[in-house]
């Protein structure tokens, strides 16, 4: 059970003037950023280390977080994820984990965490606007300054990966497909899934289009990652498409590929963050549950005739995937590896591998 405290010593100020007081579970310098929420009931470890949340403040609508502690092998990255988290109740005890409790994990990394917040009310406040910025203070609270910072915040993103590197030198699959990942903030689970399908995964920074020319790739993955795709350079995407091998776009990569085809991407009212989002596979005529974490979507009517929509969200009908047969491109808006979440869409990775196999056979 969580300890009982009488004095609330932390503050969340929203850019609309709303104030939420809570308890500082992990203290650090005040932070200002975009505030988003996830409806996931499990998988908080993966969410806390998901690079797609980089630079955002993440609120969990499920009321009790931290009961299973932190398992290092379930983290999706070592130094990427939300810059602050908001919970209703943070568990002070844990089981199953051989490593540490969530509070200690956050404190060691100086990630501010506030508990005692009505996170469902907070989620409703986020949903009511196109975008919500917030200031989180866990020490030296000043309402006036917190509101000022929240209202004047301007988002700045950086691409973290700077050098190319090979993830798995010791793969032992006979086919041994070389997959070059254009890294905008990829999750460990995606790398592991590709490796399990017999791929040697090579990571290349998205900021260096010339780096991909060093590798004879059987296919490319345009990774997930944080931020507004409309602000990113498309040069590396165009280079990838010119290589005439299969390409798989995931989440942000899905949006960037759409932009490279001249399509439009729009900011969603409140995004989709959770592990139980229903999607329809149009080609297979089946419903699947998927893990989603995005604030932008592709405008389907702007896609060229050469691209066909393969998946749609059952929540709002937005495009959840498309393909271009001419360019051997497939995309999916969600996270196919299911870290966290269901793996109903995992078959799309096998489809990507099959595309590489056919492409290699044609070259012989």
Q: Where are the domains of the chain?
A: 10-152, 165-363
- C-alpha–C-alpha distance, residues 183 and 164, integer Å: 9
What is the structure's pLDDT at 170? 42
Please report, rounded to a whole number, the percentage of residues in the chain having pLDDT higher than 70: 89
Decide if 314 contacts 279 (C-beta within 8 A). Answer: yes
The DSSP call for residue 327 is: T
Q: Does domain 10-152 have CATH number 3.50.30.20?
A: yes
More reliable by pLDDT, 150 or 94: 150
User: In sequence order, what DSSP letters do the residues of 135-167 get, joined into one string?
Assistant: EEESSS--HHHHHHHHHH----------S-EES
| Bridging pattern class, strands 177-183 and 219-222 | parallel
- What average pLDDT is seen over the chain? 86
What is the structure's pLDDT at 305? 93
Grouping H, G, I as helix, E, B as strand and the rest as coil, residue 37 is: strand
Q: How many CB atoms lie within 10 A of CB 33?
A: 21
- C-alpha–C-alpha distance, residues 299 and 316, integer Å: 12
Q: Of 270, 273, 294, 335, which residue is the catalytic one?
A: 335
Q: Cβ neighbours of residue 94 under 8 Å, at least 6 residues apart? A: 66, 67, 68, 69, 70, 101, 102
Decide if 214 contacts 202 (C-beta within 8 A). Answer: no
What is the structure's pLDDT at 224? 92
- For residue 9, give both structure tokens: 């010593």
Decide if 54 contacts 159 (C-beta within 8 A). Answer: no
Architecture of domain 165-363: 3-Layer(aba) Sandwich (3.40)
Q: Of 25, 54, 337, 339, which residue is the catalytic one?
A: 337
Q: Cβ neighbours of residue 364 under 8 Å, at least 6 residues apart? A: none
Grouping H, G, I as helix, E, B as strand and the rest as coil, residue 359 is: helix
Tell me if residue 335 is catalytic: yes
Residue 169 has pLDDT above 80, yes or no: no
Q: What is the mean pLDDT of residues 64-88?
A: 85
Residue 220 has pLDDT above 90, yes or no: yes
What is the structure's pLDDT at 271? 82
Q: Is 214 exposed, middle or buried (0-12, 13-18, 19+ CB in 10 A)?
A: exposed
- C-alpha–C-alpha distance, residues 355 and 41, integer Å: 35
- C-alpha–C-alpha distance, residues 67 and 124, integer Å: 25
pTM above 0.75, yes or no: no
Give 72's pLDDT tier (boundaries 50, 70, 90).
confident
297-333 pLDDT per residue, tens: 999 999 999 999 999 999 999 999 999 988 999 999 9
Q: What is the mean pLDDT of residues 193-214?
A: 86
Give 172's pLDDT tier (boundaries 50, 70, 90).
very low
260-273 pLDDT per residue, tens: 999 999 998 878 88
Q: Which residues pair with 249 in a beta bridge?
A: 222, 331
Q: Of 32, 178, 200, 251, which residue is the catalytic one?
A: 251
108-161 pLDDT per residue, tens: 888 999 999 999 999 998 888 778 899 999 988 889 999 988 888 755 443 444
Decide if 77 contacts 49 (C-beta within 8 A). Answer: yes
> Helices in the chain by DSSP H: which ranges?
44-48, 102-108, 119-127, 143-152, 188-196, 235-241, 252-260, 347-363
Residue 341 has pLDDT above 70, yes or no: no
Residue 216 has pLDDT above 50, yes or no: yes
Tell me if residue 337 is catalytic: yes
More reliable by pLDDT, 92 or 19: 19
Decide if 59 contacts 231 (C-beta within 8 A). Answer: no
């Amino acid at each position: 059970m969580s300890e009982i405290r009488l004095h609330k010593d932390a503050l969340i100020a929203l850019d609309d003037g709303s104030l939420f007081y809570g308890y500082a579970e992990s203290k650090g310098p005040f932070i200002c950023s975009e505030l988003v929420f996830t409806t996931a009931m499990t998988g908080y470890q993966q969410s806390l280390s998901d690079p797609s949340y980089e630079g955002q403040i993440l609120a969990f609508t499920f009321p009790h977080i931290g009961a299973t502690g932190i398992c290092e092998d379930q983290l999706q990255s070592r130094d990427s994820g939300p810059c602050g988290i908001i919970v209703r109740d943070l568990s002070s005890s844990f089981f199953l984990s051989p490593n540490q409790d969530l509070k200690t994990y956050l404190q060691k990394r100086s990630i501010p965490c506030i508990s005692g917040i009505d996170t469902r009310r907070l989620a409703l406040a986020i949903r009511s606007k196109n975008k919500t910025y917030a200031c989180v203070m866990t020490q030296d609270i000043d309402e006036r300054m917190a509101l000022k910072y929240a209202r004047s915040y301007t988002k700045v993103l950086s691409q973290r990966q700077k050098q190319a590197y090979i993830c798995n030198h010791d793969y032992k699959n006979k086919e041994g497909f070389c997959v070059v990942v254009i890294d905008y903030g990829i999750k460990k689970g995606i790398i592991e899934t590709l490796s399990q399908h017999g791929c040697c995964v090579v990571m290349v920074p998205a900021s260096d289009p010339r780096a991909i020319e060093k590798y004879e790739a059987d296919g490319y993955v345009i990774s997930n990652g944080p931020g507004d795709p409309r602000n990113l350079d498309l040069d590396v995407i165009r280079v990838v498409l010119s290589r005439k091998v299969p390409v798989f776009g995931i989440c942000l990569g899905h949006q960037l590929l759409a932009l490279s085809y001249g399509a439009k991407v729009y900011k969603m009212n409140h995004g989709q963050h959770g592990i139980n989002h229903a999607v329809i596979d149009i080609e297979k005529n089946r419903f699947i549950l998927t893990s989603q974490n995005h604030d932008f979507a592709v405008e389907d009517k702007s896609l060229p005739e050469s691209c066909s929509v393969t998946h749609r969200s059952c929540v709002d009908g937005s495009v959840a995937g498309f393909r271009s047969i001419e360019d051997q491109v497939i995309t999916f808006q969600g996270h196919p590896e299911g870290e966290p979440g269901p793996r109903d869409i995992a078959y799309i990775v096998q489809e990507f591998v099959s595309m590489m196999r056919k492409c290699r056979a044609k070259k012989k």
